[in-house]
Amino acid sequence: MVVNFLFFTIKIERQNAAQRIAEYNCERYLQERANAQAMQAAQYPDFAIRG
């Protein structure tokens, strides 16, 4: 269902359990990857690391 307002739009979607689990796993992976890149950058502060 999509509800349009003057300055924004609200979109309501229903998800089943498998979709929620897949989305959670994706978010968790992205967070772990960002943490790993941050740890790698912290080890070598004199160099710029591009990921």
Q: Look at residue 14 in the predicted model and tell me its pLDDT.
A: 86
Predicted TM-score of the model (pTM) = 0.57
Residue type, 3: V
Give the pLDDT band of residue 49 (cuts 50, 70, 90): low
- Residue 19: its H or E element: helix 17-43
Say how many C-beta atoms besides its own lie within 10 A of residue 10's C-beta. Answer: 9
Are residues 2 and 10 in contact, defined by beta-carbon separation less than 8 angstroms? yes
Are residues 41 and 49 in contact, defined by beta-carbon separation less than 8 angstroms? yes
Q: Residues 6 or more apart from 41 whose CB is under 8 A from it?
A: 49
Q: Look at residue 46 in the predicted model and tell me its pLDDT.
A: 65
Does 51 have pLDDT greater than 60? no
